Chains A and B, each alone.
Chain A
Amino acid sequence: MSDTTQNGPVLAADGTPLKRSLARALRMQKMRALMLIAPLLLFVVITFIAPIADMLFRSVENKIVATTLPNTVVALQDWDATGDAPPAEPVYESLYYDMFVAAEAKEHTKLGSRLNYEQTGLSSLFRSSGRRLDDAGEAQIDALEDLNPAWEDPAFWYALMDAGSGAADDDLLAAKRKQMTELTDIDHGVDIGFAPRADISQLLPKTADAYTLFALFTAVEDEDVVAEEEPWEAVKVALVQDLQEGADVSSYTGPGAAELAAAQTALAELPAMNFKEVFLDIDKDWGSVDNWSTIQTYSPRYTSGYFLNAIDMQKGPDGPEARPENQQIYMMLFKRTLFMSLVITGSCILLGYPVAWILANLPMRTANLLMILVLLPFWTSLLVRTSAWKVMLQQQGVINDVLVWLGLVADDARLVMINNQFGTIVAMTHILLPFMILPMYSVMQTIPPSYLRAAKSLGANNWTAFWRVYFPQSVPGIGAGSILVFILSIGYYITPEIVGGTTGTFISNRIAYHISSSLNWGLAAALGAILLAVVLLLYYAYDKIVGIDNVKLGG
């Protein structure tokens, strides 16, 4: 206490100012608390928060078009989708080379099914085109091979294209490695025993391009030796194009110079490659402006398309527009989910309120006994309760049997109570009722019964006493229970799936369908993100009204 007589800061026992010592102790305490929480927080973030974030990311991610058709997307940028002319030759040329690689890697069908979500017919278009692309430029290739069988010889091709000890075009190789890695999700950064010659890639750029892709694919996917495999047709088509476009072969002196010169002379008499014709030959739909505009619309790496789809809209050439009436289902599903959740919450309030009241007002012993009747369903497996309702509500089920036995319903006119909205509402009301009763009960327990008696002794009748005195005090319980039940019911999957049929299903059933059956993961993620937003909003409200800490489990 001698410090009080001195000037300056108050000191702790070890001589440091008390303020600093206190701050340090507080900091230590905070650190210790955080250290205890950290492992769990990390665990939840990795196993739970990261997956949710991944799902949100998937709802806008759309790189498949850009990775499968990288050159086409670039070439298509300047095309005017509002006109009625299909794109020009360069777009078809890029499409040919992109598609050829994609078809070899079997990635074109994935892109087809992706684009099919936006424009029906594209899936089959891509599948059939991938198959028939090998026949393109047959006449020119035949001429080339007739001229000199060396063009069918893998070793000759390898000698022509490989840099060996000479200068290599590393930029080209790196670019193609990146393209293939993005296309197939397999790392193409490994040694492939090939590097494109710098002078050839100058002289024959398209051929070098195509051959490098071929070499990467052969070495990485097929795990073959590049020098022993005959190049793709696309490589030969590229050579034909390069030579016909007037590559200056005379200045070239490396391996295969003579063959190149001979080939150029011979090919000069043949017609030039026309890729547009090739594609229109395969399928005239390649001339459709709609198809091309879909590809153009969905070419960016990120898209709002899934979200627009989730609210029954689509991307048009002039921005978002509503889908045709017959394709609008999601808004209807969202509305139905909200409506049914509201009905379920309402019936839970109606059924839960009297029960909570009687539990709170009966003597302790009786109330505890009756509480078991509430807690037993709460603890019983969800599937047990769902199967019980299936047993009860079926047309040959217990309720119908009793009604028929009582003569209230004719045997041939049994009630349809399952596989519709009614079944879902009844079963889910039963399943979620304990979640309503428990919070209501814990609030009502704190309301002194003497208030009601006081109100009555002051002249209120039963109804007034309840409505003006008791009910307002029980509102927090109703609020807590309602939000909890609403949050739980809005995302329910199992029960609607089993007893809901087609008219009683929720948005979550649609999400599950898109993940496991239609494989439209982006749309599933977008629908999930919207549902998540609604739930988080309610969660926030719950936190504000009730407080997360006040969630009670089992009485």
Chain B
Amino acid sequence: MVALTPISRTPVSFYVPVVAAAGAFAGLLVGTAQGQSLLGLVGGAVALAIIALVITQLMDNEKASRWGLTLLMLVGGFMIGGLPGGVIGGLFGWFFGWFTFWLFEGRYRATVPPYLTPGQVLWHYGFRVICGAIFIFLITPILVVMPLSFNAEDFFTFTPEMLRFDPDGYSLKHYRDFFTSSDWQQALRNSILIAPMATLLSVSFGTLAAIGLSQPHVPFRRAIMAILISPMIVPLIISAAGMYFFYSRIGLQGTYLGVVLAHAALGIPFVIITVTATLVGFDTSLTRAAANMGANPVTTFFRVQMPLILPGVISGGLFAFITSFDEVVVVLFVGSAGQKTLPWQMFTGLREQISPTILAVATILVVISIALLTVVELLRRRSERLRGMSPG
């Protein structure tokens, strides 16, 4: 990042108290865990104040002092709390080393405009800490699930063995359970059978309709759009209830076809939205040029238009796929035991016999969604590049 402000070293009276305050906070946490809050508070403050003074004033090698501090805290933590204590201590040491020099050298000033008052600088960083906390809130639940799925016990929480990084605390048994249990395998098979069919239906109908909707003169465009988007807006429980009543009347309830049709209907809005968004940047003179050179409409569509809007179609398809692959409420009502999908199995698992196999499945699903997210992101960039909207 470009430095906006020239920096200079700050006086001792500024950075030592700040580091001491941070140390007091850390000491309070450690102290409370040991049942000695006040001692931790005071001890942390004093220790960190001394350390800050020593590494800034007595030693003049920044790199060495930061590594030294990390190592010192790591060993100290290991003596108190074993391996987990060592890891936490090491992290603390690294953080305080960085924090001390960040304040001491005045680096915190470098990236903010020179005219800010100290209060504004404090707010600037305070705001970033708040945002960081929100990001942690967003991502922690997903991260917590992953290590827990390797739990050797049937618990939903970290066992002491896991915290000690004892290999005995970890195992792949929940994954083994997932791959050998016939219930889960049947559910996986159903999901794999239903989602692609539903995606195929919604993508083929949806792309055609999106092309139709992007023509310059479409009567009742707003009303048609509202109807086509409605499956996304109507609460799932209402869609599920309606489909349950209606599909039982016409004999589709509890059939594979019924579930596929229902899921296709739910996926259509996503296809429509992504493909119409892609078509906004589509240059219609290209199709006219193709027609001019003698291509019939079908050839024009497949040879000229389709390759250009393909990224949008694929990402719409991925949205439709994930919608169907993730969907519980509708399949719960429209399907029968023969159409039990993966999310359904997870749902019953969470509601009734709770088993950590769910966490193994969850981890696998997270990995799948990371893969899908990457694909969609790449496609989006490619599409923008193709349409010349940004250099990518």
| Residues of A in contact with B (beta carbons under 8 Å apart) | 26, 29-30, 32-37, 39-41, 43-45, 47-55, 58, 351, 354-355, 358, 363, 370, 372-377, 379-392, 394, 396-398, 401, 405-408, 430, 433-434, 462, 487, 490-494, 497-498, 508, 511-512, 515-516, 521, 524-525, 528, 531-532, 535-536, 539, 542-543, 548-549, 551-555
Contact = CB atoms under 8 A, between A and B. Distances in A.
Contacts of B333: 515-516
Contact of B32 (A370, A380, A391, A407): A407
A30 B219 CA distance: 7
A32 B366 CA distance: 43
A430 B141 contact: yes
B265 A48 contact: yes
- Closest 3 pairs between A and B when the two form their complex, measured CB to CB: A491-B235, A36-B212, A51-B242
B228 A44 contact: yes
A555 B236 CA distance: 24
Contacts of B142: 376-377, 380, 384-385, 388
B29 A406 contact: yes
Given A373-B138, A383-B346, A358 B128 contact: yes
Nearest to B376: A554
Interface in B119-147: 120, 123, 127-128, 130-131, 134-135, 137-142, 144-145
Contacts of A508: 235, 237-238
A52 B242 contact: yes
Question: Secondary structure of the B side of the interface?
Answer: helix
Contact of B134 (A354, A380, A391, A536): A354
Given A41-B224, A391-B157, A48 B217 contact: no
Given A381-B326, A388-B142, A551 B229 contact: yes
Contact of B238 (A55, A384, A408): A55
A298 B225 CA distance: 40
A504 B211 CA distance: 44
B266 to A, nearest CB: 8
Interface in B249-263: 249, 261-262
A433 B34 CA distance: 36
B218 A33 contact: yes
B162 to A, nearest CB: 11
A43 B343 contact: no
Interface stretch (B7-15, B43-51, B267-275): B267-275
Contacts of B158: 398, 401
B71 interface: no
Contacts of A49: 227, 230
A494 B227 CA distance: 25
A535 B156 CA distance: 37
Contacts of A43: 201, 205, 264-265, 268
A46 to B, nearest CB: 8
Contacts of A551: 229, 273
A50 B209 contact: no
B291 interface: no
Contacts of A363: 1
B226 A490 contact: no
A33 B214 CA distance: 8
Given A47-B264, A358-B128, 9 more contacts: A37-B218, A51-B247, A385-B142, A390-B350, A391-B145, A405-B33, A511-B241, A515-B333, A531-B238
A373 B139 contact: yes
B161 to A, nearest CB: 14
A29 B130 contact: no
A355 B132 CA distance: 9
B235 A50 contact: no
Interface residues of B, number: 101
A497 B348 CA distance: 11
A76 to B, nearest CB: 29
B131 A383 contact: no
B234 A398 contact: no
Nearest to A50: B246
Contacts of A51: 239, 242-247
B231 A388 contact: no
Contacts of A380: 142, 365-366, 369
Contact of B244 (A29, A377, A515): A515
Contacts of A383: 326, 328, 343, 346-347, 350, 362, 365
Contact of A40 (B127, B145, B157, B208): B208
A462 to B, nearest CB: 6
Contact of A370 (B135, B222, B351): B135
B265 A512 contact: no
B213 A37 contact: yes
Contacts of B243: 47-48, 51
A52 B215 CA distance: 29
Contact of B123 (A405, A407, A462, A532): A462
A459 B130 CA distance: 27
Nearest to A487: B233
Contacts of B351: 497-498
Contacts of A386: 350
A407 B373 contact: no
Contact of A41 (B228, B234, B343, B372): B228
Contact of A32 (B140, B215, B229, B244): B215
Nearest to A391: B156
Interface string B349-362: 01100000011001
A239 B95 CA distance: 99
B148 interface: yes
B317 interface: no
B305 interface: no
A36 B205 contact: no
Contacts of A379: 322, 369-370, 372-373, 376
B329 interface: yes
Nearest to A511: B237
A52 B208 CA distance: 25
A398 B157 contact: yes
27 contacts: A30-B217, A34-B219, A36-B211, A37-B208, A49-B230, A51-B246, A51-B247, A58-B245, A351-B137, A363-B1, A374-B138, A376-B142, A379-B370, A379-B373, A383-B328, A383-B343, A383-B347, A387-B145, A387-B362, A390-B156, A406-B33, A430-B141, A508-B235, A539-B230, A553-B270, A553-B273, A554-B380
A355 B134 contact: yes
Contact of A394 (B33, B156, B212, B325): B156
B21 to A, nearest CB: 19
B129 to A, nearest CB: 11
Given A351-B134, A376-B370, A388-B145, A48 B365 contact: no
Contact of B33 (A381, A396, A407): A407
A388 B206 CA distance: 34
Nearest to B270: A553
Contact of A373 (B135, B219, B350): B135
